Amino acid sequence: MKTIKKAIFPVAGLGTRLLPATKAMPKELLPIIAKPLIQYAAEEAIEAGCDTLVFVTGRNKRAIEDHFDSNLELESALNEKGKITEAEMVRNILPKHVQCVFVRQPKQLGLGHAVLCAERVVGDEPFLVLLADDYIINSGIGTSSNLVNAYNNSGKTQLSVVNVDGPEISKYGVVSTGVDDKSVNALIEKPIYEKAPSNIASIGRYVLTPDIFDILRKQSPGFGSEIQLSEAINRLASTKRVEMVFLNGKRYDCGTVNGYIDAILETASIKSK
């Protein structure tokens, strides 16, 4: 069984729920204290063993590439002013063994389409997918590491999930559970609250196997006229090839104003202790 070394970050979205802040700056670069969301996600993937980070970008997302690129002028200016610690911080955004690859999503056709755009880079290997606006404060090892460990045990697609009670469940892909505490029979995208198969919601962390690409290529647009990743995962689940791992920590939806503020306040509280 192949090990997971690549992680996909779909970052082509417009971030309309955070306008006007995201008019000129990608939402993935919004900071939690002094570090942008996308860097937290990248560090999580590296902790899980990934050495190739694949960013699926769109127009006006060049700043993400710049963030992970070297900036010799800034490093030089900091060194000249004696700010050695800050210069080292800029120089070591990512470890030297980690490679960044940038792939353009020419048109936003859904999360499934964004994943499909990275197929040539990923090839026939299993891989992680991380949505950077799902900011996670873990209790113990990282969420992606938990998913990779679960994949290593079974070789199956893995979903990170949380319990969501009440009508909010209709905003998520919702799991129909199998015969044990980890098997997934189905993944239903944004069901009506009264018809939701459970209160178990899939969030923005996945381990996917390369057979997902064949499904996505043949898939017609679904909910929202987009190629939904959840629909492809649902097809895999029907063949008993999908499992779930409950989140060990707190998750904040930083694609919303309230979630973003809550993430900052919680992180500040932890750092102040």
Cα-Cα end-to-end distance for the chain: 42
Residue type at 100 in one-letter notation: C
pLDDT cut 90: percent of the chain above it: 68
Give the DSSP letter string of 116-169.
Answer: HHTHHHHTTS-EEEE-TTEEEEESSS-HHHHHHHHHHHH-SEEEEEEE--SGGG
Helix or strand or coil: residue 74?
helix
Are residues 99 and 120 in contact, defined by beta-carbon separation less than 8 angstroms? no
Asked if residue 33 lies in contact with residue 268, where contact means CB atoms within 8 angstroms, the answer is: yes
Confidence band of 72 (pLDDT split at 50, 70, 90): low
CB 6 within 8 Å of CB 52: yes
Q: What is the pLDDT of residue 237?
A: 95
Question: What confidence tens digit (pLDDT) does each residue in 175-222 have?
Answer: 999 778 899 999 999 999 999 999 999 999 999 999 999 999 998 877
Q: Is the pLDDT of residue 20 over 80?
A: yes
Rounded average pLDDT over 225-254: 93
Alpha helix positions (H), 3-137 = 37-47, 62-68, 72-80, 84-91, 111-117, 119-122
Q: Which domains does the chain have, with CATH numbers?
A: 6-218+228-271 (3.90.550.10)
Q: How much is the pLDDT for 185?
A: 94
Residue 81 has φ and ψ, to the nearest 5°, of -90, 5
| DSSP assignments along 216-243, one per residue | HHHPPP-GGGS--HHHHHHHHHTTT-EE
Confidence of residue 223 (pLDDT cuts 50, 70, 90): low
User: Would residue 141 be called left, alpha or beta, if left means φ above 0 and alpha means ψ between -120 and 50 degrees?
Assistant: beta
SS3 106: coil
Is 92's pLDDT higher than 70? no
What is the pLDDT, as a whole number, of residue 263? 96
Residue 54: what pLDDT?
97
